[in-house]
Structures are given as structure tokens and as C-alpha cells.
Amino acid sequence: MTEEKRVVLDVEDLCKDFVLENGSRLSAVDHVSFQIREGECFAVIGESGCGKTTLAKLITRVEEATSGRVIFQDRDITALGRGKMKSVLRDMQMIFQNVLSVVSPKMKIQDFLLEPYRNFRLMPKREALENIRRMLKSVRLTEAVLKKYPHQLSGGELQRICISRAFGMNPQLLICDEITSALDVSVQDDVMKLFRELQSQHGIACLFICHDLALVSNYSDRIMVMYLGQNVEIIDSADLGTKALHPYTRGLLQSFLFISSDRGRAIRTISGEPQSPVDVSANCRFCTRCPKASSRCFEEVPPLREVGPGHYVACFLLE
């Protein structure tokens, strides 16, 4: 069981409000808590704009959290200074959502890949290059890419370069922000297989952000469903189809075609308009679209409760 494994990342009650130009507050991440253990692939899914990227940026301190704590390897990193954070970042790698823009257009891939080795003083250049070549081979790219500029490469190639860089650093935690969304479906599967292969090989804990439920249920161990900044359900991937409880998760499952599903079944979509994330009052964010919402859902924030082993749901309807 996963229970015995060491907790790598512990996120407690993390919140992020963006203050917009007109003074209103946009709540992008709202009281999110979860834990990731060693070697686990923890997926975060949710629709566009629900705060997935913001969550990743909070954990990596690209953005500062409004409140809450991030504990990485038993160390609270929410308030670490710049210098100490640098040593933390060595063990935490992130693959950004938009790979096309993560390499400076004026930089060759070789320099880009050498940067972490140089900046963290990990090893001399020759060894680093050897390491880089080995990693490139493992993502099935040739050395020729080293001499190229990013605009000379395809999105898929850049994506694999970023993956090779992240794994080459041998991190404790790898955060992947929609690493497949820029790729077409045929390449997607290749990249994912490769990714899982590398992940299990290196035994790295992984926070995997995605909005593709099918992909996630195939390739991850646990899934956290987010809706407008709130964490609505955490569930084992294997149980997703059968045990999901939150109305939003169920809605997602129904709106999405399992290959195995019988053709006769109607596809249902989630009806209603989502709330605006600006200046929200304390309620369940899903209340406006929830088919079973009661008056309480409009007035209080449902807490995250454990309903089964490793299964958490935030919904009043289940009490």
C-alpha cells in the first residue's frame, strides 16, 4: 500500500487570491490540501481556468501563496528565502505548460540543457553533456537537437527535451503541467508511455496536471479533481469509474466516453453556467451547476472529508 511510503509533498490549506486591476479579488486556488508520496503519480484535473497552473506555481514558489503551507520533504518551504529555495528547487523540477515558450528563443538547446548543471554546480561540463546525451537517448531524440534553436524544433520534440531535462536532474518531485496538451493524440501516447517508464525507473513522485480524464485515469495512481480553485474530490484512479461521489466528478465521467462504454448510453453534459471566480462568497463553487444543490451549498464551503481509505470528497450531500 502507498501508506507506508514517505510523504514527499504535503500541501495544507493553500490559497491564492489575485488582486485584479479594478480591486476585486480572483480566488484562483481556494483551500487546497493534499499529499503526494514517494513514487506516486498524483494527477490534478479540472477544466481550463480552475487554478491548476496556479497551484503548480504556488508549490514551486513562482507565485507567492496568500495563505496555507507547502511542506516538501518535511520542510516548510512557504517562507524560505531565495538562497535556500534554490537548493530546494534542485530536488523539485517542473515541466511548464507551454513548452514552446520555456526556452529563450536566443538560446541553443545545449545551453538550455546545461543550465541547471552549471547553476547548481552539479558536475563538470563534460559529464553533464554525457548525462544530457544519455537522457536525450532515453526520450528517443538524437544529439542533433543540441545544436538547434527552439524555433527549429517541433512542439513534441521540445516537450521531450523538457522531459529529459527534468528527469536528468533526478528530482524528488516532478511537476508536469499539461505536458501532453500541445501534442497530437498519436504522440501523446508515446510521450505518456515514456513518461511513466522514466517515472517508475527513477521512482519519482509526480504531480501531474491535466485536463484529459481518459489520459489521467490510465496513467496516474491517484486523482484530485478541482473546480474553480476548490479541491472537490481525491480518489484512487482505479476507483474513479466506480466509486466517484462528488456530483462534479460524476458529471465529468458522464460527459466523457469510455472506450468500453456501450454505444446506446446517452452522453450527458454538465448543464448550467459556472460561477465567476471573481469576488466569490463562501459557498460550494459547484452549487450553480449542481443538480442536487441544497440551500446549504449556497451558504457554506463544504469541508474535505475522508469517506473511504484515501478517498476524500468535499460535498454536503454525502453527509
Partner 1 sequence: MAKLKQAPAGGEIRLKRGLQRGTVIRIKFYAILTIAILFVLFAMNAEHFAPYDPIANDYACSLQPPSAEHICGTDKLGRDVYSRILCGAGGSFSMAFVMLIFVSTIGTTIGMLCGYFGGRFDVIMMRFVDVLLAFPDTVFAIAVAGMLGPGVLNAVIALGLLSWTSFARMARSLTASVREKDFIAQARFNGASTPRIILKYIFPNVAPQIIVMATMRIGGTILSLSSLSFLGLASQPPAPEWGVMVSESKAYMQTAPWMMIYPGLALVLTVVIFNLLGDSLRDVMDTKKQ
Ligand X SMILES: Nc1ncnc2c1ncn2[C@@H]1O[C@H](COP(=O)(O)OP(=O)(O)OP(=O)(O)O)[C@@H](O)[C@H]1O
Residues that bind Mg ion (CB under 5 A): 53, 97
Residue 120 binds which entry of Mg ion, partner 1, ligand X, none, with Cβ cut-offs from 5 to 8 Å by kind?
A: partner 1
- Smallest separation (angstroms) from partner 1 to the CB of 249: 30
Of 12, 15, 11, whose CA–CA distance to 282 is shortest? 15
Query: Nearest to residue 10, comparing CAs of 57, 60, 71, 64?
Result: 71
Contact 63, 2 (CB under 8 A): no
Q: Nearer to Mg ion by C-beta: 53 or 188?
A: 53
- Torsion, Cα 280 281 287 288, to 10 degrees, reads -60
All 3 cell numbers of residue 226?
478541482
Nearer to partner 1, 86 or 140 (CB): 86
Q: How far is the CB of 97 from ligand X (least distance, A)?
A: 6
Tell me how far apart the alpha carbons of residues 187 and 270 are, in angstroms, rounded to a whole number.
29
Tell the smallest beta-carbon distance from residue 99 to partner 1 (Å). Answer: 9
51 binds, among Mg ion, partner 1, ligand X, none (CB under 5 to 8 A by kind): ligand X
* Binding site partner of 105, from Mg ion, partner 1, ligand X, none, Cβ cut-off 5-8 A by kind: partner 1
Residues that bind ligand X (CB under 6 A): 18, 26, 28, 48-54, 97, 211, 277
| Nearer residue to ligand X within complex by CB, 53 or 93 | 53
Task: Show the cell assigned to 302.
Answer: 463544504
- Tally of CA atoms within 13 A in the half-sphere of 294 that contains its CB: 9
**For binding to partner 1 (CB under 8 A), which residues are involved?**
57, 60, 62, 86, 89-90, 93-94, 96, 98, 101-107, 115-116, 119-120
Q: Which residue is nearest to ligand X (CB)?
A: 53
Q: Which residue, 50 or 136, has its beta carbon nearer to ligand X?
A: 50
Place of cell 523539485: 92
Rg (CA), the chain: 20
